[in-house]
Amino acid sequence: MGKLQTPKVMREIFGHLPDGTAIEMVRLRGDNGFEVRLITYGAALQSIFVPDRAGRLADVVLGRDDLAGYLAVRRFLGATIGRYANRIANGSFELDGRRFQLPTNDGANALHGGLAGFDRKPWTITAIGENPAPFVTLSYLSLDGEEGYPGTLKTEITYRISGGSELSLEFSAVTGKPTIVNLTNHSFFNLAGVDRDGGILDHVLTIAADSYLPVSAAGIPSGAPDKVDATPFDFRKPHRVGARLRDADEQVRIRQGYDHNFCLRGGASSVPRLAARVEDPGSGRVLELWTNQPGVQFYSGNFLDGTVTGKYGRVHRQFDALCLEPQVYPDTPNRPDFPSARLDPGQTYRHTSLYRFSTN
């Protein structure tokens, strides 16, 4: 008798919404214990298990143990964000001469899709399998007018183990009317493991960006991209995340840390290229983010405030984890000088990002 192989793809019930809708968990397995767990609520990454330099596995993303946790408090943990990731000033934009007003849910501005964005929706599994690699495809149909956005938008996302310890995310969307689309994943990473004490201030970060977007205190871009030269935003060479948080820099102060869009060299690309690299010196775990998007929002977990208890009984506190959100720029619909987020009928929105894990 040969040894039974562990399935590379598994699915199970994670919980039920108040209306009875079943929410599933899917587990995708790679090599050496690498495992990705995602749930159909918000098409969210719930766990990613990655080996360290000694082969020890740890979960490296914040999440909740059960569906009730996700429903109780909206924190975007690992979630798919849409229709529009990041902020739109005053929740308002114009398209083809018509003004659209979105619900404002971040002060005067619209954030991450509105009051009930894609992160608050049950997604449907439309395909799942192991060949040629473990994958699952989920879809969500956003009707014309949902959260104020024009056009019925059909969105799909495929999570795939594209290497032994590499996860690829492939987003696509089509619309029935001209609209705006900016989808991303909002995982909070701590490469030391989210089950232990210690945050991400000693993580070493590199970002392939020569400029970033200064913002108002509310997080809205205040002008054109600014050079990172001689600022705490210069991550062209590796820097500890926490090395310059105490610098007398107005941009760091008003957002209580990093919460800014970095303008990636070369803008949008046809194929993913290296956008950012993070290393935890203690464990040796390394994450490389590759994307075809023009920007990446680096968020240092400034507003994790101790009010949410996640997996492993850990309370989420400031700087416990960081986000790297590939995207078009914030407030792009109101900024014709920024890369466009427009999608027209007959076109397909495509966003591919790779999360490549290794050890050093």
pLDDT of residue 3: 60
Question: Which listed residue (156, 166, 279, 325) is catalytic?
Answer: 325
- Is 146 tagged catalytic? no
Question: Which amino acid makes up residue 162?
Answer: S
Q: Give the span between the Cα atoms of 85 and 331, in whole angstroms.
A: 10
Note whether residue 97 is domain-resident: yes
Q: Give the span between the Cα atoms of 354 and 348, in whole angstroms.
A: 20
CATH of the domain at 191: 2.70.98.10
Buried b (16+ CB within 10 A) or exposed e, 59-81: bbbbbbeebebbeeebbbbbbbb
- Is 325 tagged catalytic? yes
Note whether residue 4 is domain-resident: no
pLDDT of residue 217: 95
**Cα–Cα nearest to 187, from 284, 276, 313, 91:** 276
Q: Is the dihedral of CA 105, 111, 113, 118 positive or negative?
A: negative
The domain containing residue 180 runs over which residues? 9-359
Domains held by the chain: number: 1
pLDDT of residue 5: 74
Question: Which amino acid makes up residue 131?
Answer: N
Q: Give the span between the Cα atoms of 120 and 193, in whole angstroms.
A: 26
Note whether residue 2 is domain-resident: no
pLDDT of residue 37: 98
pLDDT of residue 6: 81
Note whether residue 301 is domain-resident: yes
pLDDT of residue 62: 98
User: Would you write out the chain's pLDDT as a tens digit for each of its 360 residues?
Assistant: 556 678 999 999 999 999 999 999 999 999 999 999 999 999 999 999 999 999 999 999 999 999 999 999 999 999 999 999 999 999 999 999 999 999 999 999 999 999 999 999 999 999 999 999 999 999 999 999 999 999 999 999 999 999 899 999 999 999 999 999 999 999 999 999 999 989 999 999 999 999 999 999 999 999 999 999 999 999 999 999 999 999 989 999 999 999 999 999 999 999 999 999 999 999 999 999 999 999 999 999 999 999 999 999 999 999 999 999 999 999 999 999 999 999 999 999 999 999 999 999
Tokens of 243: 């090395």
Note whether residue 3 is domain-resident: no
Residue 31's alpha-carbon distances to 51, 97, 237, in angstroms, are 10, 52, 30
pLDDT of residue 2: 56
User: Regarding beta strands 79-81 and 184-186, do their DSSP bridges make them parallel or antiparallel, or are they unpaired?
Assistant: antiparallel
Note whether residue 247 is domain-resident: yes
Question: Which listed residue (112, 186, 203, 351) is catalytic?
Answer: 186
Q: Would you list the DSSP string of 116-145?
A: T-GGGSB-EEEEEE-SSS-EEEEEEEEPTT
